[in-house]
Chain A
Amino acid sequence: MAKTIMTVDDSSSVRQMVGMTLKGAGFTVVEAVDGVDGLAKAKANTLDMIITDLNMPNMDGIALITALRTLPNYKFVPIVMLTTESQATRKQEGKAAGATGWIVKPFKPEQLLEVIKKVLG
């Protein structure tokens, strides 16, 4: 059974890149454009993992992670955040909110898959 991963990013190109990489690796992909959209789609789907950007309009990544961890279904689901090296403090905030790990942007498809292997198996 293919596992389902949601990519949350306001950049369509990042979503597309992540999406293509995931599909190529055999995952089912759900796309969301910001935190609000992501939270709604998380409730509507059964997701095995979430990859979210941090800087997004409406609801940012940290708020999304915090909200997801209060949902029984997403209490223990791996959540990986996309960060940049200039966001060391954001990384800490994300971890505190319940993120499982992070990927530093920019990244290559291979690196994305490595991290997925690390947190999802």
Chain B
Amino acid sequence: MNVEIDTSAFTEEAYELLSELEDSLLELEASPQDQDLIGRVFRAMHTIKGSGAMFGFDAVAEFTHEVETVFDMARNGTIPVTKQLIDLTLAARDQIRAMLDAAAGGEPADQANANRIIAGLRSLSPNNKTANAAAPVATQEKPQAQATSVDDPHIFRIRFLPHEDIFASGTNPLLLLNELRDLGECRVVTITDKLPDFFDLNPETCYTGWEIFLTTHVGENAIRDVFIFVEDACDINIRLLDREDVIPDHEETKKIGQILVERGDLSHKDLEKALLPLGDRLVQAGAVSPDRVRAALTEQQVIQEKTDKKKTAEATTSVRVPSDKLDGLVDLVGELVTMQARLNQTANTLGDHTLQLIAEEVERLTAELRDNTMSIRMLTIDTTFNKFKRLVRDLSTELGKEIDLVTLGGETELDKTVIDQLNDPLVHIIRNSIDHGVESPEVRKASGKNPVGKITLSAIHSGASVLIRVADDGAGLDPKKLIKKAVEKGILSPDEELSDKEAYQLIFGAGFSTAEKITNVSGRGVGMDVVRRSIESLRGSIDVSSTLGKGTTITLKLPLTLAIIEGLLVMVEKEYFVLPLAAVEECVELSREDVTKTHGRHVINVRGDIIPYIRIRDRFLVEGNPPDIEQIVISEVDEKRIGFVVDKVVGQHQTVIKTLGKNFQHSEEFSGATILGNGGVALILDLTKMVRYVEEDENTELDSQ
């Protein structure tokens, strides 16, 4: 809470006190024995010091403290009131005035003069040593939460037994209990065994005591501070209960009798007398009061709870496993998924109801096992993000730029393999942002921007993908510059027209660098093309958006996991193919008529949209004749809709990706293969690459015509 205080209340009063002080001092010179006058001087100094500090005049308070200390001695008769003391005090009075004037906007006060006065005053003290240890301006004895350990709370047992007369000091003990409750979790047991018979009761006497079991992160001092005003008006005993050596793990929590004996509530003899069952018999025997048994029971309970909690905590701690073991597990789960698909198929073929039920159950378990296995491989991306803080700091310093890196969504989880392979591309992108994106502080200032640039690194889930963005608030990409550069490098012909978006894509071209100056930080023209390739090898995609003068954002779209893909299984003749389901929008029919209507151009009209399509049959030279009605799977590739023509759509298929052997690796149009339930093999299409190759081939054809 903040309270606005008007300081003029203080300065007005201080000026008034100072003028009074002058009179008092002059009178005191005439009659140096006058205790009343000495008291008046002391009080004036005291008030100026106290109020000064409260109103933020710390220098005034500190200085006045010195004068007050000496005058306190004069008041106690430790030192006599001499002419020297009065001279010094008058000088001090003038000094305080000067300090107040300075605070009100006047000439600054002469610090050397202040030091001279302080030295003079201190020399008057008979005990120079203590005077020299000029106590700093008093600070409130604030309860300081002395954190003993941040991670693990402690259990304190606090015995609070107020003296009978505690009410006479205006103390309400219940408020102290409330304060303890503010420190942590409290279990309060009331001890009323001193409460007398009603007729003997003195209504203004406190008969009640408490045992409080406080589970807290604060230390003993913070607890003691609660009782600071009542130290003399109560018995207080604070004990840390949960030291590990007291409660060995394997042993049962202490027996109640043991606790009572340890607490001194019960003697060993009495314990032996009573033996079992304890609690009630002890009470009956009059050995302990029921309240004490209750307190001991609570103590037992609180410790037990803490021990239980600890055990649970230990049980949930992590296990480190070499990642190849995990990879092995994923492979096995993959096999299992395949086998399970076969089991399903077989069960359906045989039509055996019991077998079908078992197959369904196995399917459910397999799905769960798969999800669990995948989640084991998931890591948060924050470690990767944090690495870039240093990179940004170092690089921006090197380039004479000031850049803040902001990271968002560090808790987002991604497959470990994806995370591992994400580092290098991100380094490239961030280097680019620092080097080409964010301008120098001078340029930024000139364009009215904050001289400190900002790069925001964020991760967010989006369906089965994770979007990772690197956004800078730099100059942005200039499409004209990009085009000019591309033309210069011969990547683009001068008469080609490109949209802004297409122009941005140029930065991914091999050997493309727009920086006017080549620095050793980023790009000698290798960079973004490599980035694009590595992201695509992760079955991801990369996208650029930019506003000139405002900044550039690079978005990476990555699959959550590499091991499994939700696919759409399709057939062409007897061949199976899998399309990534995430890209699929819809399926429409393609009839012979449709083909004739478009005069053989590979486009179809879907509700008014003209969508180009690729015939898988033609692309992979599958022999045979297409059926009368084919299927087009409309997918989104690079933000464009494009159709893939197949004979038949089989359905959704969960696919464990197997990498293709070396022999097939030249065929980039496939991202892998999968084994089907019937033991067959389906190739998984990499739509992005396929579209790009088809376009390239078409261009080559056009060029050659």
Q: Which A residues contact B (CB, under 8 angstroms)?
A: 10-14, 16-17, 20-21, 24-25, 55-57, 69, 75-79, 82, 84-86, 95, 98-111, 113-114, 117-121
Specify which of B53, B168, B179, B228 is in contact with A106 (CB 8 Å cutoff).
Answer: B53
CB-based nearest A residue for B40:
A57
- Please determine whether A98 and B138 come into contact, CB atoms closer than 8 angstroms: no
Q: Which of B5, B10, B72, B228 meets A109, CB within 8 Å?
A: B5
How far is it, in angstroms, between the C-alpha of A9 and the C-alpha of B75 when the chains are bound? 20
Would A10 and B47 count as touching, CB distance under 8 A?
Answer: yes
Q: Which residues of chain A have C-beta atoms less than 8 A from B52's C-beta?
A: 106
Docked Cα-Cα span, A69 to B204, in Å, equals: 14
| B54 adjacent to A107 (CB under 8 Å) | yes
A selection of 12 A-B contacts at a CB cut-off of 8 Å is A11-B50, A17-B5, A17-B9, A21-B3, A78-B171, A85-B138, A86-B68, A95-B169, A100-B171, A105-B138, A109-B3, A120-B175
Known contacts A100-B229, A106-B50, A118-B179; A20 and B13 CB within 8 A of each other? no
Residues of B within 8 A of A107 (CB): 54, 140
Q: CB distance B175 to A12 under 8 Å? A: no
Q: Among B3, B168, B228, find the residue whose CB has the most chain A CB atoms closer than 10 A.
A: B3
Question: How many Å lie between the Cα of A8 and that of B491 in the bound state?
Answer: 87
In-complex Cβ contact of A76 among B2, B47, B170, B232 (8 A): B170
From residue A102, how far is it (CB to closest CB) to chain B in Å? 7
Q: Which B residues are in CB contact (< 8 Å) with A10?
A: 43, 47
Closest chain B CB from A84 CB (angstroms): 6
Q: Across the interface, which residues of B come within 8 angstroms of A69, CB to CB?
A: 168
State whether A118 touches B175 (Cβ < 8 A): yes
Closest to B169 in A: A100
- Is there a chain A Cβ closer than 8 Å to B69's Cβ? yes
Cα(A104)–Cα(B136), bound, Å? 13
Contact A16 B139 (CB under 8 A): no
Interface centre among B43, B169, B172, B175 (most CB of A within 10 A): B169
- CA of A110 to CA of B140, assembled, Å: 11
Select B138's contact among A56, A104, A114, beta carbons within 8 Å. A104
| Most chain B Cβ neighbours within 10 Å, of A55, A105, A109 | A105
> Which residues of the partner chain B approach A20 to less than 8 Å between Cβ atoms?
3, 5
Chain B residues, CB < 8 A from A104: 138-141
Known: A25-B1, A111-B140. 13 other contacts (CB 8 A): A13-B14, A20-B5, A24-B1, A56-B43, A57-B43, A75-B168, A76-B170, A99-B170, A101-B229, A102-B229, A104-B139, A107-B54, A110-B1
**Contact yes or no, A79 B170, CB < 8 A:** yes
Whole-angstrom CA separation of A14 from B9 in the bound complex:
9
Given the known A-B contacts A13-B9, A55-B46, are A100 and B137 also in contact in the complex, defined by CB atoms under 8 Å? Answer: no
Known: A11-B51, A14-B51, A20-B3. A108 touches B175 (CB 8 A): no
Task: Summarize B's interface: helix, strand, loop or mixed.
Answer: helix
Q: Give Cα A17 to B170, complex, Å.
A: 24
In contact, A17 and B168 (Cβ under 8 angstroms): no
**B178 located at the interface, meaning its Cβ lies under 8 Å from any Cβ of chain A in the complex:** yes
CB of A64 to closest CB in B, whole Å: 13
Q: Which of B36-58 contact A (CB under 8 A)?
A: 40, 42-43, 46-47, 49-55
Complex alpha-carbon distance, A105 and B176, angstroms: 23
Q: Is B61 an interface residue (CB 8 A)?
A: yes
- Give A16 to B380 CA distance when docked, in angstroms: 56
In Å, the complex CA distance between A75 and B205 comes to 13
Please indicate the chain B residues that have their CB under 8 angstroms from the CB of A75 in the complex.
168, 204
Contact A55 B54 (CB under 8 A): no
Closest A residue by C-beta to B36: A57
What's the minimum C-beta distance from A106 to chain B, rounded to whole angstroms?
3
Q: Is the CB of B169 within 8 A of A99?
A: yes
Q: Is B399 an interface residue (CB 8 A)?
A: no
On chain A, the residues within 8 Å of B49 by CB distance are 84, 106
Q: Are A11 and B47 in contact (CB under 8 A)?
A: yes
Q: Are B54 and A17 in contact (CB under 8 A)?
A: yes
Question: In this assembly, does B694 line the interface, its C-beta being within 8 Å of a C-beta of chain A?
Answer: no
Shortest distance between the CB of A56 and any CB in chain B (Å):
8
Residue of B nearest to A77 (CB): B170
B693 at the interface (CB under 8 A from A): no
Contact A76 B168, beta carbon cutoff 8 Å? yes
**Set of chain B residues within 8 Å of A113, measured between Cβ atoms:** 1
B46 contacts which chain A residues (CB < 8 A)? 55, 84
Complex CA–CA separation, A86 to B49 (angstroms) = 12
Which residues of A lie under 8 Å from residue B204 when comparing CB positions? Answer: 75-76
Give the complex CA separation of A14 and B10 in angstroms: 8
Q: Is the CB of A106 within 8 A of B61?
A: yes
Q: A13-B9, A77-B170 are in contact. Are A95 and B138 (CB under 8 A)?
A: no
A14 in contact with B169 (CB, 8 Å): no
CA–CA, A103 to B159, complex, Å?
A: 26
Q: At the interface, yes or no: B135 with Cβ under 8 Å from chain A?
A: yes
Contact A55 to B169, CB < 8 A, known contacts A106-B137, A110-B1: no
Question: How many Å lie between the Cα of A107 and that of B55 in the bound state?
Answer: 9
When chains A and B are docked, how far (Å) is the Cα of A72 from the Cα of B176?
24
Q: Which residues of A contact B54 (CB under 8 A)?
A: 13-14, 17, 105-108
Let me know if B138 and A106 touch, CB within 8 A.
yes
**B69 pairs with A86, CB closer than 8 A:** yes
Closest to B174 in A: A121
A119 and B170 contact, Cβ closer than 8 Å, known pairs A14-B51, A104-B141: yes
Which residues of A are found within 8 Å of B601, using beta-carbon distances? none
Q: Are A121 and B170 in contact (CB under 8 A)?
A: no
Q: Of residues 226 to 241 in B, which have CB atoms within 8 Å of A's CB atoms?
A: 228-229, 232
A32 CB, nearest partner CB in chain B, Å: 16
CB contacts (< 8 Å) of B72 on chain A: these are 86
Q: Would A85 and B135 count as touching, CB distance under 8 A?
A: yes
Expressed in whole angstroms, the Cα–Cα distance for A105 and B47 within the complex equals 10
The chain B residue with its CB closest to the CB of A19 is B9
Q: Bound complex: CA of A77 vs CA of B169, how far in Å?
A: 8
**Interchain CB contact (< 8 A) of A98 among B5, B53, B170, B228:** B170
In the docked arrangement, what's the CA distance between A108 and B3, Å?
Answer: 9
Q: Are A17 and B139 within 8 A (Cβ)?
A: no
* B269 interface contact, C-beta 8 A: no
Residue of B10, B47, B68 ringed by the most chain A CB atoms within 10 A:
B47
Residues of B within 8 A of A76 (CB): 167-168, 170, 204
**Smallest Cβ distance from A58 to chain B, in angstroms?**
12
Given known contacts A103-B140, A110-B1, A14 and B135 CB-to-CB distance under 8 angstroms: no
B565 CB, min distance to chain A CBs, angstroms: 59
In the complex, whether B142 has a CB less than 8 A from a CB of chain A is yes
Tell me the bound Cα distance from A75 to B178 in angstroms. Answer: 23
CB B220 to nearest CB in A, in angstroms, measures 18
In the complex, A106 Cα to B12 Cα: how many Å?
A: 18
The answer on a CB contact under 8 Å between A24 and B168 is no
The CA-CA distance from A81 to B179 in the complex, in Å, is 21
Does A12 contact B137, Cβ atoms closer than 8 Å? no
Tell me whether A121 and B172 are in contact (CB under 8 A).
Answer: yes
Give B5's nearest chain A residue, CB to CB.
A17
Looking across the interface, which residue of chain A has its beta carbon closest to that of B52? A106
